[in-house]
């Protein structure tokens, strides 16, 4: 059978194929990625897009956790101050209930408790980055305002709203406790009990009852404060989880689209060797034919 | 009775035939690199003998014809495969360009959607913060821009394919005109009883070029041929070519007409078929998916946005975040834009108080909600990436396979019709030697003649 007398076009197409392989290897080496365009591996490209979205989401959850943690710590330490302040009020009340004190002694104690009252007011009106922390969701105005017509001396102008914040897939945390639940709870009203204590000290009557009321308020705050501790614990463990997730997503991304550099480089060497050989073959074929020998 | 003159005539026929055969070899050598050239072989036959009872005398040799060596079946297979190759090349080139819109660059649609939802989640941590609200508006703007850019790129690509269609039709018309002209020449030559090998080579070469542009069926008709597209639209009939024309439709897309009828949808292969497939099917399908995603996302976001309260505590009824997309969703991606300019109008609040994040949370929840044809925005987008990548990968794989087939067919063609210089050198030596021998015979006859003449004189 007759053989194709002109194999050059075969060799040229072999050259262009090896060149294509070299280009692809170089692209992978330069980018470190095996999927540089969707057609390189459509399924992996689609999964990489999901992976990028999930990574962005996890990064965002971490940022949200950090923002929340700051607010939580602030609120928690404010409540801590409220608790120590209330303890001081209780010991002042107990001191005032001692029958040996005279009116002016009690008046001095009452003045001291008034100081505590304004401290508590300022703590309850804690603001963090422009938001009043204990105002429910009405965060743009101080939740407690002085009001002489109110029996407790203050009026709550916040609401009872609680924000839920998504910090993970299927994980939302409550982000605040409204003042109505903390300081103005029925039967444990901080400002009412302090006001009663001041009135009691000034009048010398009902001090014990008032001290009991302050104690209930103190216990209530102490119990409520657990909320912040719990959320902070949740946030900390979520932070750990998100960091792990980010690592796993990065690992997955690498598995899906990372170039296997040792393989790519060995492919590259092979392709270059093959190209070199083809070039030499082209150079050597067709140099001679029968015409060269006709004398 | 034999005669010296008869021998002389025989020797002369040898000289003439070998000379003619050498011409064929010479022509082969000259055309060794001519694309589409088929090697020619001289057909030498012994001349009719003279019978002079009881002897039969040969009367020399005749160069009957110079034939081109070709395999018509192979030629037709090459034309078929060239059509496939042309179609796939055009498709691969179009889809490679298309998929650049879906590479993860940071400014792509997927990243923009991610960043939008990220900004909403951040806003949720401090819903009254104006700078966080502004971030949401900016991110929404980036989403709109990413959709606009991708959709407009696809439209621009269709426009340039449209121009390609017009140019290709121009090339087709030129080729069919040339083929019709060659048909005429071939008929003339063959009607005169001669071999039209070179013209047929040229015509085959042109048909191959035409095959790379459009689907062609070749129907032999006497010593001419008829070319039609796959669905039977005439391109060439003998010496007549039928010109194709293009005319834009209502939306400005070029349609292809032959003798008044629209044949656009019937063209499936060749470069033209590939361009039409990309322009009319592949790219519009991707645009439709982008429109679905853009409209679905915008509607879902607007739906949540208008059910909440803005920073000032006002109900957000009617205050869409995105300009509502057209109900048909056609053009939703290219026209997507942000309707709000005041960040305070973002409805983060669900109870009317500025610090409430209930509606921001509802907005954020859309990230993983099946709001677009039963899929979340991210899933739907990753499906688009898969579809685009898969179409490009399939076309590329088919093209490689078709290249191999074409390569093999061309190899076979070359093994039948290609010029081998070794062979030609050997032939040349044969013809040269035969020529020399015939000349030697003439020289001998001459000396015999001399002997005869001298006989009379002596």
Q: What is the pLDDT of residues A122-142, one digit of tens each?
A: 999 999 988 999 999 999 999
Residue A90 to chain B, least CA–CA distance (Å): 34
| ipTM here | 0.88
User: Span A59-66, mean pLDDT?
Assistant: 95
Cα separation, B113 vs B106, whole angstroms: 11
Side by side, the strands of the sheet bearing B244-248 are B244-248, B254-258, B261-262
User: Is B422 in contact with A289 (Cβ distance < 8 A)?
Assistant: yes
| pLDDT in the model for residue A127 | 93
Please name the residues in contact with A230: beta carbons below 8 A apart, sequence gap of 6 or more: none
Contact A39 B99 (CB under 8 A): yes
Query: Chain A residue closest to B412 (CA)?
Result: A4
Tally of CA atoms within 13 A in the half-sphere of B194 that contains its CB: 10
Looking at per-residue pLDDT, the higher value among A103 and B362 belongs to B362
DSSP-H helix ranges across B355-420: 358-365, 377-417
Do residue A39 and residue B95 have CB atoms under 8 angstroms apart?
yes
Radius of gyration of chain B (CA): 38
For residue B213 the two structure tokens come to 């542009």
Q: Check if A36 contacts B (Cβ < 8 Å).
A: yes
- pTM for the model stands at 0.86
Task: Report d(CA B154, CA B26) in Å as an integer.
Answer: 54
**Euclidean distance between CA atoms B176 and B198, whole angstroms:** 18
Band (pLDDT 50/70/90 cuts) for residue A20 is confident
Q: Is pLDDT at A115 greater than 60 in this prediction?
A: yes
> What backbone phi and psi angles, to 5 degrees, belong to B50?
-105, 130
Would the pLDDT of A286 be above 70?
A: no
Residues of chain B contacting residue A289, judged by C-beta atoms under 8 Å apart: 421-422, 425
Residue A155: pLDDT over 90 = yes
What stretch of H or E contains B114? helix B109-125
Give the C-alpha separation, B446 to B458, whole Å: 18
For A285, which DSSP code?
T
Q: Please state, rounded to an integer, the average pLDDT across all residues of chain A.
A: 91
- Both tokens of B52, joined, read 């002079």
Q: Out of A167-171, A288-292, B241-245, which region has the weakest mean confidence (pLDDT)?
A: A288-292
Q: Can you read off the two tokens belonging to residue A294?
A: 């006709």
Closest C-alpha to B140, from B351, B342, B290: B342
**A37 touching B (Cβ < 8 Å):** yes
Window 112-131 of A, Cβ < 8 Å to B? 129-131
Both tokens assigned to B195:
């071999």
Chain A residues touching B293 at Cβ < 8 A: none
CA distances from A116 to A87, A88, A93 (A): 10, 8, 12
Residues of A in contact with B356 (CB under 8 A): 137, 161, 163
**How many A×B Cβ pairs under 8 Å?**
194
- The CB-side HSE value for B342 (13 A sphere, CA atoms) comes to 8
Indicate whether A278 pLDDT > 90.
no
CB-based contact, A43 to chain B, within 8 Å: yes
pLDDT along chain B (458 residues), means of 10: 82 93 93 89 91 86 90 90 94 93 83 95 94 96 95 94 94 95 90 82 92 90 83 88 92 89 90 94 95 96 95 93 94 95 94 93 95 94 95 94 92 91 92 94 92 78
């Amino acid at each position: 059978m007759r053989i194709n007398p002109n194999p050059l076009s075969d060799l040229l197409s072999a050259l262009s194929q090896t060149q294509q392989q070299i280009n692809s290897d170089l692209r992978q080496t330069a980018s470190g990625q095996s999927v540089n365009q969707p057609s390189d591996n459509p399924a992996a490209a689609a999964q990489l897009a999901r992976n990028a979205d999930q990574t962005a989401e996890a990064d965002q959850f971490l940022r949200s956790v950090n923002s929340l943690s700051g607010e939580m710590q602030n609120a928690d330490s404010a409540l801590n101050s409220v608790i120590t302040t209330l303890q001081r009020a209780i010991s002042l009340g107990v001191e005032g209930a001692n029958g040996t004190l005279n009116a002016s002694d009690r008046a001095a104690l009452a003045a001291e408790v008034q100081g505590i009252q304004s401290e508590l007011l300022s703590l309850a009106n804690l603001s963090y980055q422009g938001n009043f922390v204990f105002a429910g969701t009405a965060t743009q105005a101080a939740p407690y305002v002085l009001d002489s017509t109110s029996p407790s001396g203050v009026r709550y102008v916040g609401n009872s709203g609680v924000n839920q914040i998504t910090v993970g897939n299927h994980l939302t945390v409550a982000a605040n406790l409204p003042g109505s639940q903390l300081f103005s709870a029925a039967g444990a009203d901080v400002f009412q009990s302090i006001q009663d204590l001041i009135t009691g000290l000034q009048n010398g009557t009902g001090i014990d009852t008032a001290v009991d009321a302050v104690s209930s308020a103190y216990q209530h705050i102490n119990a409520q404060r657990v909320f912040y501790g719990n959320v902070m614990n949740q946030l900390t463990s979520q932070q750990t989880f998100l960091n792990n997730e980010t690592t796993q997503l990065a690992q997955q991304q690498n598995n899906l689209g990372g170039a296997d550099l040792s393989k790519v480089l060995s492919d590259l060497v092979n392709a270059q060797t093959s190209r070199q050989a083809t070039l030499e073959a082209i150079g050597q074929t067709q140099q001679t034919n029968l015409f060269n020998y006709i004398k | 009775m034999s005669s010296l003159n008869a021998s002389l005539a025989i020797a002369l026929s040898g000289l003439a035939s070998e000379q003619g055969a050498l011409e064929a070899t010479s022509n082969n050598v000259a055309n060794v690199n001519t694309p589409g050239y088929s090697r020619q072989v001289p057909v030498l036959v012994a001349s009719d003998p003279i019978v002079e009872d009881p002897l039969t005398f040969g009367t020399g040799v005749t160069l009957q014809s110079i034939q081109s060596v070709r395999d018509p079946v192979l030629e037709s297979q090459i034309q078929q495969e060239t059509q496939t190759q042309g179609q796939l090349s055009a498709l691969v080139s179009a889809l490679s360009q298309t998929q650049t819109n879906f590479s993860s660059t940071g400014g792509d649609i997927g990243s923009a959607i991610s960043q939008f939802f990220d900004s909403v989640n951040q806003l949720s941590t401090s819903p009254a913060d104006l700078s966080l609200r502004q971030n949401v508006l900016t991110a929404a703007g980036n989403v709109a821009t990413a959709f606009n850019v991708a959709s407009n790129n696809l439209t621009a690509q269709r426009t340039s394919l449209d121009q390609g269609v017009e140019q290709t039709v121009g090339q087709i018309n030129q080729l069919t005109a040339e083929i019709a002209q060659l048909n005429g020449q071939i008929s003339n030559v063959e009607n005169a009883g001669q071999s039209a090998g070179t013209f047929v080579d040229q015509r085959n070469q042109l048909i191959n070029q035409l095959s790379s542009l459009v689907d062609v069926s070749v129907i032999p008709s006497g010593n001419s041929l008829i070319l039609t597209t796959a669905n039977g639209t005439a391109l060439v009939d003998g010496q007549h070519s039928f010109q194709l024309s293009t005319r834009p439709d209502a939306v400005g897309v070029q349609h292809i007409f032959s003798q008044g009828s629209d044949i656009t949808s019937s063209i499936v292969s060749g470069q033209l078929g590939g361009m039409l497939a990309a322009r009319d099917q592949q790219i519009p399908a991707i645009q439709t998916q982008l429109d679905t995603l853009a409209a679905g996302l915008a509607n879902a976001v607007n739906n949540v946005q208008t059910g909440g309260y803005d920073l000032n505590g006002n109900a957000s009824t009617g205050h869409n975040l995105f300009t509502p997309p057209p109900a048909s969703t056609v053009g939703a991606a290219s026209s997507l834009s942000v309707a709000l300019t005041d960040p305070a109008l973002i409805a983060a609040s669900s109870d009317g108080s500025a610090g409430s994040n209930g509606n921001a949370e509802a907005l954020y929840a859309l990230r993983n909600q099946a709001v677009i044809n039963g899929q979340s925005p991210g899933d739907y987008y990753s499906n688009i990436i898969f579809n685009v990548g898969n179409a490009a990968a399939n076309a590329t794989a088919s093209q490689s396979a078709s290249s191999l087939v074409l390569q093999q067919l061309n190899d076979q063609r070359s093994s039948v019709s290609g010029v081998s210089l070794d062979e030609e050198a050997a032939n040349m030596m044969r013809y040269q030697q035969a020529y020399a021998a015939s000349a030697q015979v003439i020289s001998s006859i001459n000396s015999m003649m001399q002997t005869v003449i001298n006989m009379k004189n002596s």
